[in-house]
Amino acid sequence: MGAKCPDIVVWLLWSAVVWSFVFPASFADNNEDDEGAVLDSDSVWPRRVVDGDRKDYTGHALLRITPQDQYHLRLLAALVEKSDVSGVAFWKEPTIVNENVDVLVPPDVKDYLTALMLTNGLRINIVTDDLQSLVDEERRTRSVEESDRSDRTSKSFNLSAYHTYDEIMSYLDYLNNTCNSSCSTQVIGKSYEGRDLKLIKIGRLNDESIPGFWIDAGIHAREWISPAAALFLVSKLLDPTDPIGKFLLNRYRFYILPLANPDGYEYTWTHDRLWRKNRSRHPDPRVKCHGVDPNRNWDFHWGERGTSSKPCAENYGGWQPFSEMETRAMANYILSISDSLAVYLSLHSYGQYLLTPWGYTTKLPADFNDLMAMGNLAAEAIRKTHGMQYAVGSTARVLYLASGGSDDWAKGVAGVKYSYTIELRDDGKNGFFLPASMINDTGEELLNAVTALGAGVKRQETRGRRRRNNYREETQDKKKT
């Protein structure tokens, strides 16, 4: 019997066979010129959306694939690497064995990919074989909701519905005009297309002794539940009859940015419901693909593992760190208040995770136990609300490697000790199409998580001050003796 071929060699050979069989166009068409600029080509980027068109997902299948061993994980990882040319989009990436992977597959490769997965023993569940049907159903539901509401700038603003950028801005303006001295709005910057990045500050605004609590939402455009949940939280904080709101505002000043990616968010309403990035253009005019992933663009371990240098990729990190107007504006504002910030929280979906740094490496922060203690408090508060289970851990270990993320930057550069990302509902049943009927429950879970996190951090700070004071007293006593 001859010597066994090393596993990595088998994998590399198989990968070559896979890509030449499944996506022959990616070998026949070169999408890079001699200088490496990625060029636009329908043959290598079938999911490209031409401006003015509405993206049609007719025939696109959403597959839920379950890897059962390390070989399956490597095979799926190879798919991830080629996603920018194949049109395959990973909604949930491969991380660990027996953890579901959600993959959106265009019709021209659906049969090939399904056959490949089944041939290699992967379990596949077809969530839908026509994603457009989900888009259409959501659109019909929104039409009914819009006919039921007329005044979107007053108290009748429906927190149980999804809203456009303009509606959200109008609501924030209404709050600014009616909340007296308990809140104020501020435009902290502009998006690439000129939309406002509008922040709302809530609490005792003139009391500089109160620590800050930052929350941003909607940095990924298609994750509609995150801005909706953020607005639910805003409403509770400003409700004078809500005891939880009062409790929180006695302890923190809140800085909430409900839409961190307004251009991308608006684009999901008008062109492509599943758009993820912002809508900026690359400085090289030969690059035709729009957008940068704002959560891979922060200047902390930028461009490392878990991000792409290819402009057509969904996790493209930009041509340089902080290349994007939106991330620069956020970072500059956070740095201006960083001395007072106790907590940084970024809202995403989906998956039901409560994630700590680091995302760029599987190594853990020195204070990881502190982060986990507070994270577990928040997850338990969520569980007690409506029974939802959230996994807690570092991004790279629980979810996937992701460098250039906002929470890593908040901790590593801005120095905010308790920095987290929350992946809100659900666990994959509805994915990015979470029904509006679940907004209130998700908002209640977020409110309770923020309350538990805020109370826990406050207790930790109080204990820390006591320990420091006790140490000073002991030191002084020793000097006297």
Q: Cα(347)–Cα(356) distance, rounded to whole angstroms?
A: 13
196-202 and 183-190 as β-strands: parallel, antiparallel, unpaired?
Answer: antiparallel
Selected catalytic residue, list 223, 423, 444, 445 = 423
Q: What are the b/e assignments for 283-316, b being 16+ CB within 10 Å?
A: eeeebbbbbbbbbbbbbbbbbbebbbebbbbbbb
Angle in degrees, CA 223, 102, 320, rounded to 5: 55
* CB distance 317 to 292 below 8 Å: yes
* 3-state SS, residue 120: coil
Catalytic status, residue 423? yes
Edge-to-edge strand order for the sheet containing 61-66? Answer: 89-92, 101-105, 61-66, 123-128
Q: What is the largest CA-CA distance in the chain?
A: 84
Q: Name the nearest CA neighbour of 396 among 329, 304, 258.
A: 304
* CB distance 197 to 187 below 8 Å: yes
Q: Cα(423)–Cα(415) distance, rounded to whole angstroms?
A: 22
Query: What secondary structure does DSSP assign to 383-447, as a single string?
Result: HHHH----EEEEHHHHT----S-HHHHHHHTS--SEEEEEEES-SSSSGGG--GGGHHHHHHHHH
Residues known to be catalytic: 423
